[in-house]
Amino acid sequence: MSTLVIKDLHVAIDGKEILKGVNLTINTNEVHAIMGPNGTGKSTLASAIMGHPKYEVTSGSIELDGEDVLEMEVDERAKAGLFLAMQYPSEINGVTNADFLRSAINARREEGDEISLMKFIRELDKTMAFLEMDEDMAQRYLNEGFSGGEKKRNEILQLMMIKPKIAVLDEIDSGLDIDALKVVSKGINEMRGEGFGCLMITHYQRLLNYITPDKVHVMMQGKVVKSGGAELAQRLEAEGYDWIKQELGIEEEAEQDV
Amino acid sequence: MTVEMKLAVTANDVRSFSETNSEPAWFTTLRESAFAQAAELAMPKPDKTNITKWDFTTFPSWTVESDQVNALNELPAEVATLVDGESQHNVYVQRNNTPAFHKVSQELTDKGVIFTDIFTAMREHSDLVQKYFMTEAVKVDEHKLTALHAALVNGGVFVYVPRNVVIEEPLQAVFLHDNAEASLFNHVIVVAEESAAVTYVETYVSTVEEAKGQANIVAEVLVGDNAQVTFGAVDVLAKGFTTYVNRRARVGRDGKMDWALGLMSDSNTVSENITHLVGDNGSADSKTVVVGRGEQKQNFTTEIRHWGKDTAGHILKHGVMKDAAQSIFNGIGMIEKGATRSDAQQESRVLMLSEKARGDANPILLIDEDDVTAGHAASVGRVDESQLYYLMSRGISKQEAERLIIHGFLAPVVTQLPIEGVKKQLTEVIERKVR
Ligand SMILES: Nc1ncnc2c1ncn2[C@@H]1O[C@H](COP(=O)(O)OP(=O)(O)O)[C@@H](O)[C@H]1O
Ligand SMILES: [Mg+2]
């Protein structure tokens, strides 16, 4: 079993504090959902976990199985077992999806023990078929000219090929039509199990119709303000966030689009 | 302004060389006249690079003798691996100034295709060579370096593809430089007559560390009406050369010209690649990738000039600069009056890998017609931080991530080269140069 523990995490961007003390514990074999209005710091949390250089952790800790994640470089975090499906994946010209994935897999293996090309292709074909992706996506340049939905599917392809211990999925559902949402959910559900834990960041309850979370957290103004089970998401869907704001005495503020 | 020429060659040497080489009289005359003009003409003035102090004229000897070989595997490994073994049927290898190996398929010969070294072509097809030699694309009297080139041609290739002949398999030329004393005044002519099609790929490769001679290279491509030419080139010449390389095409009606140039030489270099779209509805696509390193200074001009109506010209230039290398990338789209509905597009991007490196993208659009479309994109910058972050978030080390991004950046030319061996070599050269 693996555990990601986030304690009293404070994060600033360009000197402005965005996260104001986040506490979360995610074990493998668990699926957590974080919901919350736009601009409350969900992506900031994801970026801080993965180590984006722009996000400065001012206090608090992140540990994976007792190891200090904040001490690690981005690639070391990935090799330790973390994964982030990004809200806006980069496009990289001239690097094929397949070459990129093979590099990512081989980065986890010792020199001389690289995955054989045959085995790699077999796994890639199988996974792409599972995610109902066109075969030619393997030879296309990484995310270049991909539609929003193709990019999200491609993030899940990477997730399934890389097989991390703990994955953070940042708005993996946004911009997907219902068929694509089903496929993406199928991928995530396939990963579910003993060796895999997941933190899904989402705006909409819709995703949770396909992936039932073990825990749901609500984030507002840089903090996790409420946690519960799957039923919490349903109440949010039915009633919105106002009742939580009232319950906690949170001042109304304009939603920001990020 | 003009630098005093201190040539290792006299007018007499030129005449006697031409006679010994059994060249047709017209060419002896052309050489002599060019030699006289070289002394008078001014140097070219590549935009934004001052070359007045560059030495284009000193060299130890005009020609050197090198061994011929009977089989490709007798050549250095750097050359042998460029050729895709038995599947490559049409190959010319020139070793310094000596035609060292040549094979051409019976099938092409039967179709009337000529693919041979430039001097054999002059002897066997004098009229044909005379028709195209510095008459339609490049002119002898453009400047000192074109004249010097014409006077001192000491190698090269002649390709002639008759009307309606479509050659599927690429023709391959390899220019091996393995003698530090050698100078390369190579002249290449590729002619595709009406509705013909051909792909020609040339590689310049130095196996000596440092050159003492000059590289003054001209390639002329004549694309007939409705003809298609793909011209691939990989230049990996040693430092020590002062390289002038001029690759130029003239494209007829409905003709199509594609350039894929991997310019990886370690020498100071002036490279110009100009395509004239003369006929209506012609098109040109010119892709260039460059890696500069060390103290190298380079100037790359790519120009597509639209004369015919409905012509399309696309320029792509990607350069990686490291160490203290300096490069200028001039991209010129020029639409002449009357070239209505033409489209001139270009993209120049420079990636800087060190503080001291310099790279300038200099896009120019010169438009003398109203009803046209044109555009350019240019950027100079470092490796993109968010791309690095993305790759690293998958466990790829920073170094490997940079490597992937750089190879991707230079891929537009690599992927375009139709010969596996050449593609592989270019990838390896990039690997070696950016490391
Ligand atoms: N790169 C950035 N530079 C400056 N401010 C940022 C940046 N990214 C996000 N922010 C700000 O941080 C806050 C939280 O953003 P984010 O974590 O993206 O929210 P969410 O993902 O919950 O919508 C917002 O107020 C946003 O404007
Ligand atoms: Mg977000």
Q: How many CB pairs under 8 A join A and B?
A: 82
Q: Does residue A223 line the site of ligand 1, with CB under 6 A?
A: no
pLDDT digits 0-9 by tens, B40-92: 999 999 999 999 999 999 999 999 999 999 998 899 998 999 998 888 999 99
Running DSSP on this structure, what letter comes out for residue B85?
G
Nearest CA in chain B to A103: B396
Hey, which of A9, A10, A11, A13 would you mutate to test ligand 1's pocket, going by the most ligand atoms within 8 Å of its Cβ?
Answer: A13
- Answer yes or no: is pLDDT of A258 > 90: no
Which residues does B372 contact at the CB level (< 8 Å), separation at least 6? B306, B335, B339, B340, B341, B342, B343, B344
Examine the pLDDT at B4 and tell me if it is beyond 80: no
What secondary structure does DSSP assign to B266-294, as a single string? SSEEEEEEEEEE-STT-EEEEEEEEEE-T
What pLDDT score does B167 carry? 98
At A204, is the pLDDT very low, low, confident or very high (cuts 50, 70, 90)?
A: confident
For B144-156, the pLDDT digits (tens) are 999 999 999 999 9
The residues whose Cβ lies within 5 A of ligand 2, an ion, are A 42-43, 87
Cβ contact, residue pair B408, A141, below 8 Å: yes
Test A95 with B397 for CB contact under 8 angstroms: no
- Gap from CA of A134 to ligand 2 centroid (Å): 28
Q: Which residues contact B93 (CB under 8 A, 6 or more apart)?
A: B69, B72, B75, B79, B99, B100, B101, B102, B173, B174, B176
* Whole-number average pLDDT of chain B: 96
Q: Quick check: B390 and A144 in contact, CB under 8 A?
A: no
Over 50: is that where the pLDDT of A195 sits?
A: yes
Residue type for position B58: T
Which of A83, A86, A94 minimises the CB distance to B412? A94
* pLDDT at residue A257, rounded to an integer: 47
In the DSSP assignment, the letter for residue A203 is S
Chain B CB contacts of A53 below 8 Å: 385, 389
pLDDT at B348 over 60: yes
From the candidates B389, B415, B426, which should be mutated to test the interface with A, based on the most A CB atoms within 10 A? B389
| pLDDT band per the 50, 70, 90 thresholds, residue A253 | low
Q: B294, B334, B265, B27: which is closest to B151 by C-alpha?
A: B27
Gap from B281 CA to chain A (nearest CA, Å): 29
CA–CA separation, B192 and B163 (whole Å): 7
Quote the pLDDT of residue A29: 97
Kindly state whether B391 is in contact with chain A, defined as any CB-CB distance less than 8 angstroms. yes
* B193: alpha, beta or left? (left if phi > 0; alpha if psi -120 to 50): beta
Q: Report, as an integer, the average pLDDT of A117-131.
A: 97
The number of the ligand 1 atom at minimal distance from the alpha carbon of A37 is 22
Which residue stretches of A82-240 are H helix?
97-106, 117-130, 148-162, 178-191, 230-239
Taking the C-alpha atoms of residue B168 and residue B249, their distance in angstroms, rounded to an integer, is: 20
**Residue B427 touches chain A, beta carbons under 8 Å:** no
CB contact under 8 A, A50 and B393: yes
- DSSP 8-state code for residue B345: E
Distance from the Cα of residue A60 to its chain's centroid: 21
d(CA B243, CA B153): 15
Residues 6+ apart with CB under 8 A from A240: none
Task: Compute the distance from residue A50 Cα to the ligand 2 centre, in Å.
Answer: 14
What is the predicted pLDDT for the residue at B1?
36
- Position B2 pLDDT exceeds 70: no
User: Confidence band (pLDDT; 50, 70, 90) for B7?
Assistant: confident
Phi, psi of B83 (to 5 degrees): -95, 130
Look at residue A220 and tell me whether its pLDDT is greater than 50: yes
Q: For residue B232, name the pLDDT band (cuts at 50, 70, 90).
A: very high
Record the pTM: 0.93
Q: Residue B418 pLDDT > 50, yes or no?
A: yes
Ligand at shortest distance from the CA of A13: 1
Q: Taking residues A225-234, what's their average pLDDT?
A: 94
Percent of chain A whose pLDDT exceeds 90: 90
CATH number of the domain located at residue range(s) A3-88+164-248 in this protein: 3.40.50.300
A42 lines ligand 1 (CB under 6 A): yes
Going by CA atoms, what residue is nearest to atom 3 of ligand 1? A13
